[in-house]
């Protein structure tokens, strides 16, 4: 039985997974959502206890992807893509951190990017046109996608990023690779980058000339692999009580993956969305009106998103009912000063260094507990390794941060990028010229 996908705008035709993956955005500008969500039995979830991430990944992803592969090929793909763990670290009795930064680019996006790179290579091998992956990044996506798609035959990657708004090491991660990876440095904000990408997808003339897709979390192919680490977190908990997940959020792809996992049967007590001063989602839950904001620069820059792209998916998952949404997702926002204080607090209390994004997740869980008295097990998703964000982490903590090899070796590599204004025609020229 194969799963079909519809657009959240309801105007585009339904498609299969292959098409949804290769298009990224639906032609009506909406996001693809599955018509149905396969569930695993309670017994499956019980059996996940103690299992490793690859075993869990194969079981969770097979109902979504299995039909496209012979058994061995599917297993191999999952083994290659999920070749690092998501360890659950306990800070105190009911407080855990799920470390999602043990992949090659040290942020959670490696899980999805590694899987997507391999899926696209496998599923689109028979198409004889080069596939152009357009991806807007506030920092970590660019790195993960560049790494996950590096040197994949038939795929050309364009990474758009806001000039001067990503950390120096993040920038090196996607501007120093070369080969099939081109970095486009946009004189504007992350939202400008995202807008340029979205515009390219609805540009009919461009789409006739080139086959385009997205590796941003508008692509459903990004969200499916991200379900797996939620289950892996559950597998590492000793007891059976459903935990609360606190998710540092920007475009809300990570959180949407958690919701999908919950629909598959993941025992979850609820989700907490931690955001920075880009608090569009927080305001929406408060007021009931969705008003995109201009993105503001913060120290948790990967969450500087004023118009989160997965908002439409989240709303769709709850049938457009804000009151349903309010029951399961609890948003909190924090200023940079609060975030810095949070990093200090965690370091002083637990001797653990969090990067600024993770600190926002920690603060959100703490605030929710203070407001509601909730004592259930809480899991903060640690979305990036602190070494990626040294310039915004208080100096006294630096001695406790180990610099991973993957980062230290980048220091001396030369950056290469194409600069462009935040103007669609200028951007289009560059992409067309590089076809
Ligand atoms: C991308 C990113 C986020 C935000 O994730 P979304 O899926 O866009 O909500 C949070 N933290 C880090 C470190 C990131 O790289």
Whether the predicted pLDDT of 139 surpasses 80: no
Which range is least confidently modeled, 96-105, 259-268, 360-369, 409-418?
409-418
Residues facing 33 on adjacent strands:
6
- In the prediction, which pLDDT does 273 show? 98
φ/ψ (deg, to 5) at 290? -90, 115
Q: Is the CB of 117 under 6 A from ligand 1?
A: no
Q: Is the CB of 250 under 6 A from ligand 1?
A: yes
Whether the predicted pLDDT of 121 surpasses 80: yes
Q: Identify which of 303, 308, 329 to mutate to test ligand 1's pocket (most ligand atoms within 8 A of the CB).
A: 303
Structure confidence by residue, pLDDT tens digits, 204-254? 999 999 999 888 888 999 999 999 999 999 999 999 999 999 999 999 999
Structure confidence by residue, pLDDT tens digits, 2-25? 899 999 999 999 999 999 998 888
| Nearest residue by C-alpha to atom 1 in ligand 1 | 302
- In the prediction, which pLDDT does 406 show? 86
Q: Is the CB of 48 under 6 A from ligand 1?
A: no
φ/ψ (deg, to 5) at 380? -95, 125
Structure confidence by residue, pLDDT tens digits, 357-413? 999 999 999 999 999 999 999 999 999 999 999 999 999 999 999 999 988 888 889
- In the prediction, which pLDDT does 125 show? 78
Q: Which residue has the tokens 């998103």?
A: 305
Is residue 326 within 8 A of residue 364, CB to CB? The reply is no
Ligand 1 midpoint to CA 149 (Å): 19
Class at the top of the CATH hierarchy for domain 85-106+221-404: alpha beta
Q: Identify which of 302, 358, 361, 385 to mutate to test ligand 1's pocket (most ligand atoms within 8 A of the CB).
A: 302
- In the prediction, which pLDDT does 183 show? 97
Ligand 1 midpoint to CA 105 (Å): 13
| Nearest residue by C-alpha to atom 14 in ligand 1 | 302
pTM: 0.94
Give, in degrees to the nearest 5, the angle at Cα 178 between 175 and 181: 80
Structure confidence by residue, pLDDT tens digits, 70-92? 889 999 999 999 999 999 999 99
Q: Which residue has the tokens 């097990």?
A: 377
Q: Is the CB of 253 under 6 A from ligand 1?
A: yes
- In the prediction, which pLDDT does 1 show? 66
Overall average pLDDT of the 138-145 stretch: 88
Q: Identify which of 170, 217, 247, 248 to mutate to test ligand 1's pocket (most ligand atoms within 8 A of the CB).
A: 248
Ligand 1 midpoint to CA 97 (Å): 15
**Quick one: 426 exposed, middle or buried, by C-beta within 10 A (0-12, 13-18, 19+)?**
middle
Going by C-alpha positions, the residue among 422, 431, 428, 432 that lies closest to residue 195 is 422
Overall average pLDDT of the 137-157 stretch: 90
Ligand 1 midpoint to CA 209 (Å): 32
Structure confidence by residue, pLDDT tens digits, 320-349? 999 999 999 999 999 999 999 999 999 999
User: Tokens at residue 316, please?
Assistant: 């769709």
Q: Identify which of 100, 135, 140, 259 to mutate to test ligand 1's pocket (most ligand atoms within 8 A of the CB).
A: 140
| Nearest residue by C-alpha to atom 8 in ligand 1 | 251
Q: Is the CB of 299 under 6 A from ligand 1?
A: no
Q: How many residues are present in the chain?
A: 435
Ligand 1 midpoint to CA 124 (Å): 27
Q: Is the CB of 223 under 6 A from ligand 1?
A: no
Q: For the beta carbon of residue 41, count every other beta carbon within 10 angstroms.
A: 9
Please report the atom of ligand 1 found closest to the CA of residue 358. Answer: 11
Write the DSSP symbol of residue 50: T
DSSP 141-201: HHHHHHHHHTT-TTEEEEEEEETT-S-HHHHHHHHS--TTEEEEEEES-HHHHHHHHHHHH
pLDDT cut 70: percent of the chain above it:
100
Confidence of residue 43 (pLDDT cuts 50, 70, 90): very high
Q: Identify which of 251, 259, 273, 329 to mutate to test ligand 1's pocket (most ligand atoms within 8 A of the CB).
A: 251
Whether the predicted pLDDT of 435 surpasses 80: no
Ligand 1 midpoint to CA 295 (Å): 14
- In the prediction, which pLDDT does 412 show? 87
When the pLDDT of each residue in the chain is averaged and rounded to a whole number, the result is 94
Structure confidence by residue, pLDDT tens digits, 24-40? 889 898 999 999 999 99
């Amino acid at each position: 039985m194969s799963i079909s996908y519809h657009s959240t705008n309801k105007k585009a035709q339904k498609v299969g997974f292959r098409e949804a993956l290769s298009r990224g955005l639906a032609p009506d500008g909406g996001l693809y959502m599955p018509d149905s969500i396969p569930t695993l039995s309670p017994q499956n979830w019980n059996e996940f206890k103690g299992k490793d991430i690859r075993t869990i990944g194969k079981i969770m992803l097979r109902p979504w992807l299995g039909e496209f592969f012979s058994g061995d090929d599917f297993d191999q793909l999952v083994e290659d893509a999920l070749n690092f763990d998501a360890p659950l670290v306990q800070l105190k009795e009911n407080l855990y951190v799920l470390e999602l930064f043990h992949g090659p680019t040290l942020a959670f996006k490696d899980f999805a990017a590694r899987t997507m790179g391999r899926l696209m290579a496998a599923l689109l091998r028979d198409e004889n046109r080069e596939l152009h992956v357009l991806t807007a990044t506030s920092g970590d996506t660019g790195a993960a996608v560049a790494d996950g798609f590096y040197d994949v035959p038939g795929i050309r990657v364009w990474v758009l990023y806001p000039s001067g708004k990503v950390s120096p090491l993040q920038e090196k991660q996607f501007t120093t690779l070369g080969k099939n990876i081109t970095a486009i440095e946009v004189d504007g904000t992350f939202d400008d980058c995202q807008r340029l990408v979205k515009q390219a997808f609805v540009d009919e003339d461009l789409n006739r000339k080139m086959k385009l897709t997205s590796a941003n979390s508008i692509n459903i192919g990004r969200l499916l692999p991200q379900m797996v680490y939620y289950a892996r977190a559950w597998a590492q908990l000793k007891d059976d009580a459903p935990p609360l997940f606190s998710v540092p959020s920007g475009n809300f792809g990570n959180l949407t993956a958690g919701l999908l996992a919950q629909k598959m049967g993941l025992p979850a007590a609820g989700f907490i969305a931690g955001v920075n001063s880009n608090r569009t989602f927080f305001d929406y839950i408060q007021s009931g009106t969705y008003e995109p904001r201009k993105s503001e620069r913060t120290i948790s820059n990967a969450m500087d998103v004023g118009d989160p792209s997965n908002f439409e998916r989240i709303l769709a998952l709850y049938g457009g009912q804000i009151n349903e949404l309010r029951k399961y997702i609890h948003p909190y926002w924090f200023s940079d000063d609060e975030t810095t204080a949070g990093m200090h607090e965690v370091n002083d209390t637990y001797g653990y260094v969090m990067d600024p994004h993770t600190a926002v997740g920690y603060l959100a869980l703490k605030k929710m507990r203070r407001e509601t008295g909730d004592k259930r097990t809480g899991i903060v998703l640690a979305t990036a390794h602190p070494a990626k964000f040294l310039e915004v982490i208080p100096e006294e903590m630096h001695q406790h941060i180990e610099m991973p090899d993957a980062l230290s070796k980048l220091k001396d590599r030369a950056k290469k990028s194409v600069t462009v204004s935040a103007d669609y025609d200028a951007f289009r020229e560059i992409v067309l010229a590089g076809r």
